[in-house]
Amino acid sequence: MHLEKILHTKYPIIQGGMAWIADGAFAASVSNNGAMGLIATGGRTIDEIRKEIEICKSLTDKPFGLNVLMLHWEVEAISDLVVEYNIPFVTTGAGNPGKYIKKWKENGTVVFPVVPTKALAIRMERAGADGVICEGTEAGGHVGELTTMVLVNEVAEAVNIPVVAAGGICNGRSMLAAEALGACGVQLGTILLGSEECPIHPNYKDKLIKSKSTSVKVIGRINGLPTRVVKNQMTKDYIDLEKSGASLDELEKLTHAALGRAVREGDMERGSIMAGQVVEAITEIRPLAQIFQELMEEYNVEKIKLCQGDRS
Ligand X SMILES: Cc1cc2nc3c(=O)[nH]c(=O)nc-3n(C[C@H](O)[C@H](O)[C@H](O)COP(=O)(O)O)c2cc1C
Q: Which residue ranges make up the site for ligand X (CB under 6 A)?
A: 16-19, 21, 40, 42, 67, 69, 93, 114, 135, 138-141, 166-169, 187-191, 274-276, 278
Residue with Cβ nearer ligand X (52 or 135): 135
Could you tell me the smallest distance in angstroms from the CB atom of residue 273 to ligand X?
A: 8
Q: What does the alpha-carbon distance between residue 36 and residue 15 come to, in Å, rounded to a whole number?
A: 6
Q: What does the alpha-carbon distance between residue 265 and residue 292 come to, in Å, rounded to a whole number?
A: 28
Q: Smallest Cα–Cα separation from 1: which of 168, 162, 131? A: 162
Beta pairing class for 216-219 and 64-69: unpaired
Could you tell me the smallest distance in angstroms from the CB atom of residue 245 to ligand X?
A: 29
Provide the phi-psi class of 86: left if phi over 0, else alpha when psi is between -120 and 50, else beta: left
CA distances from 68 to 34, 73, 154, 190, 211 (A): 22, 11, 25, 19, 29
Could you tell me the smallest distance in angstroms from the CB atom of residue 247 to ligand X?
A: 25
Residue with Cβ nearer ligand X (163 or 309): 163
Residue with Cβ nearer ligand X (65 or 168): 168
Residue with Cβ nearer ligand X (139 or 156): 139
Could you tell me the smallest distance in angstroms from the CB atom of residue 185 to ligand X?
A: 13
Could you tell me the smallest distance in angstroms from the CB atom of residue 312 to ligand X?
A: 28
Residue with Cβ nearer ligand X (185 or 189): 189
Q: Smallest Cα–Cα separation from 91: which of 69, 121, 117, 120? A: 69
Could you tell me the smallest distance in angstroms from the CB atom of residue 277 to ligand X?
A: 7
Residue with Cβ nearer ligand X (73 or 250): 73
The residue at minimum Cβ distance from ligand X is 189
Q: What does the alpha-carbon distance between residue 37 and residue 27 come to, in Å, rounded to a whole number?
A: 4
Helix (H) or strand (E) holding 113: strand 110-115
Q: What does the alpha-carbon distance between residue 147 and residue 169 come to, in Å, rounded to a whole number?
A: 12
Q: Smallest Cα–Cα separation from 151: which of 143, 140, 36, 222? A: 143
